Structure 1
Amino acid sequence: MPMIAKPRFLPMRIHVNQALARRLPKNHPIIPILENSTSKINSGYHGEVEVDFHLKYLDDKEHHIFRDLRLSHPLHHFQLDNLILSRKYILHLEVKNYTGTLYFDEKLKQFYQTANNAEKGYQHPLTQLRRQNAQFLDWLAARGFSGLPVISQLVFSNPAAVIKTNDAGIRRLVCKADQLKAQLSTVLSSASVDIMTEKEQRKLSRLLLKENLPHKPEVLKNYDIHYDELRKGIQCPACSAFYMKRKHRFWVCPHCHHHSSHAHVDALLDYFLLVKPTITNSEFRDFMCLSSVKTSSNLLVSMGLPHQGINKGRVYFAPLNFHSLLEERRIQVRNHPINR
């Protein structure tokens, strides 16, 4: 298997949408919009995971795989679904999870989908692919890696999709996920000479990881939702009801009587997702519905959060393993008996 230099996590927008849905009244008009947004993003994510499966055949000594990179550009940030770094080539794979019949009209430079007896046009995915390629080449040149060739491929992950075109040349740039291995064997057959040394490959890998800028949606601002509209307090991990009470070092659910020593951690993750990446003792008490300064201080200290300042001026930051904690919570929720 190849070396996964940067793994793929569930998109941050899904975590944010789910946190907002939890923290709003169930009849809030934005809930259906959040559910629709989450469904679309989740579909794209599963398409990318499908392509990840078909990349397992690559030699681990030769390839460094980066998933969901987001890099800076003078005009704006750009994202790369999959970047594969080898000493012989750099490969960029853009993934689409469309269903139905997909038609590339290269005479009119249009791309459209026919599904459920309806036709819908989209931004031409090859235009997007070429733009991302140009932005990445600019990024490389600005960091002393000019002249490196970048090979790009558009991959459709849905096995039921049918691809049609009026230009046979499209086949060199487009394939389905289950055809990826054969497609890359053809496309990469001419890449027989090293374009960088092993030292340069390691240097570029470090740069990509260092300069990756994960996207953090400002969801309250985007949906024009005020902080005071959020449901504060601790949600029960057993029955999902609000509001757990703090009793003798435990959080106790008044509905199902479940006890938890760490239910505040999930609430704090919601705060960091929705509000901001820092929190003070006063803000913690407000969001957790606590009155005791000492209890709040003890809970914050017990989590080992990065911080600066002392006494009332102390500010706590989101944990360094924030993404890992979100993934752990997702797995726990998925495996909870109520969700099986």
Structure 2
Amino acid sequence: MAVKEREFPIRILQNRALIKRLRKNHEVIPRVESDLKKISAGYKGERTVDYQLGFLEDKKYSIFHNIRIKVGTQYFQIDTLLMTTCYMVIIEVKNLAGIVRIDPQIRQCTRILGETQEGFVDPVSQVEKLTLLFKKWLSKHGFNVSDIEILVVISNPQTTIDFTVRPEIHSPYTKIIHSQNILHFITTLNKKYKHEIISAKDLNKIKKLILKHHSVLTSNVLDIYGIVEDEIITGVQCESCNAAPLPKVGTYWTCFNCSYRSKNAHIQAIDDYFLLMSNHLTNSTLRNFLHIPSRHAATYMLKSLNLKTSGIGKGKRYFQ
């Protein structure tokens, strides 16, 4: 059963907002769109694995999706962690199309798609490093767990896995499978590991520790792409044609470009502000961003959103 569900990646929301709020011919847009496509594909692949693991309804399975914890000052992220009292599995998910060619002798991986070939990080080496870091994290908290299996899952069923040399029977490269074979892999582990390596009590302690120490990755998307705030298109945007800023006519945000009207279009604009500009708002920054002249109108708008607050008066801050 899932102890921690997978969150929707905030970078997807950030990149979508950024594309809308840059001028159409901005030189960074192709890169933003390319990254958005990659991140979306990765999330789709992870959800494919989540679906397969969802069939493991027995309470002996504790499944964590997308955990980010740290050892010392180093954060590391695990796509999926499956734990029982007899073994643990760290799962790395790859959503790759075409042919994945793997040379297990030199640990080299190449993706072939049409006429294009490109190398990528060896996922086996990647998940082996994650295993070492997780063991170190467990040890730091007083747990020594020896049996941690690794698994690399290719989520796209149409992808061909092509080994240049057949991996030896005990090679970690035999742990590269398609997502539809996950349940068979887990069944094999259940037969292999029959003795407890950790008590149910200690396993519950580890589960609580993971939830306590998990930290969501937050990114300053403007810094990532080298964009300054002045380049961001401000104002309420039309949900139909993206024109901005929209004036408020009566109780409606009105687009004179396509005649679209909305009472609540400001909500998405405020979401965009939180995604792109800052994790907090003040009455003044809201008025500047949405082009609202009235302090009272901005106050009413902020109160209606039931945001978290700190401070009083002009220094009052609003958090999503």
Give the structure-2-normalised TM-score: 0.91
1:180 alignment counterpart:
182
Map residues 213-228 of structure 1 onto 2, 5 A cutoff.
213-228=215-230
Over the residues paired in the alignment, what is the CA RMSD in angstroms?
1.9
Q: Which runs of 5+ in 1 are unaligned?
A: 319-340
- Residues of 1 paired with 2:14 and 2:228: CA distance? 15
* Residue 294 of structure 1 pairs with residue 296 of structure 2: yes
- Residues of 2 paired with 1:271 and 1:258: CA distance? 22
Query: Judging changes above 3 Å, is the alpha-carbon distance between structure 1 residues 301 and 74 closer, same or farther for their aligned structure 2 residues?
Result: same
Secondary structure of 1:8's counterpart equals: coil
Cα deviation, residue 239, structure 1: 4.0
Map residues 1-340 of structure 1 onto 2, 5 A cutoff.
2=1, 4-147=2-145, 149-165=147-163, 166=165, 167-168=167-168, 169-170=171-172, 172-318=174-320
- Residues of 2 paired with 1:56 and 1:30: CA distance? 39
Secondary structure of 1:163's counterpart equals: strand
For the 8 Å contact 1:172–1:187, the answer to whether it is kept is: no
Cα deviation, residue 287, structure 1: 0.8
- Residues of 1 paired with 2:275 and 2:137: CA distance? 29
Query: Judging changes above 3 Å, is the alpha-carbon distance between structure 1 residues 131 and 261 closer, same or farther for their aligned structure 2 residues?
Result: same
User: How many residues align structurally?
Assistant: 316
Residues 256-306 of structure 1 show CA distances to partners (whole Å, capped at 9, x for unaligned) of: 444433222211111111111111111111111111111111111111111
User: Is 170-179 or 270-279 further displaced after alignment?
Assistant: 170-179
Query: Judging changes above 3 Å, is the alpha-carbon distance between structure 1 residues 5 and 147 closer, same or farther for their aligned structure 2 residues?
Result: closer
What one-letter code is carried by the residue in structure 2 that aligns with 1:206? K
Secondary structure of 2:71's counterpart equals: coil
Using the aligned pairs only, state the percent identity.
32
- Residues of 2 paired with 1:27 and 1:119: CA distance? 29
Give the structure-1-normalised TM-score: 0.86
- Residues of 1 paired with 2:197 and 2:275: CA distance? 41
For the 8 Å contact 2:283–2:295, the answer to whether it is kept is: yes
User: Is 38-47 or 237-246 further displaced after alignment?
Assistant: 237-246
- Residues of 2 paired with 1:148 and 1:249: CA distance? 64
Residues 173-218 of structure 1 show CA distances to partners (whole Å, capped at 9, x for unaligned) of: 2111112111222234222223333333333222222222111221
For the 8 Å contact 2:238–2:255, the answer to whether it is kept is: yes
Cα deviation, residue 10, structure 1: 2.9
Secondary structure of 1:137's counterpart equals: helix
Residues 55-86 of structure 1 show CA distances to partners (whole Å, capped at 9, x for unaligned) of: 12212422222211111232521111111232
Q: Which runs of 5+ in 2 are unaligned?
A: none
- Residues of 2 paired with 1:143 and 1:80: CA distance? 18
For the 8 Å contact 1:243–1:254, the answer to whether it is kept is: no
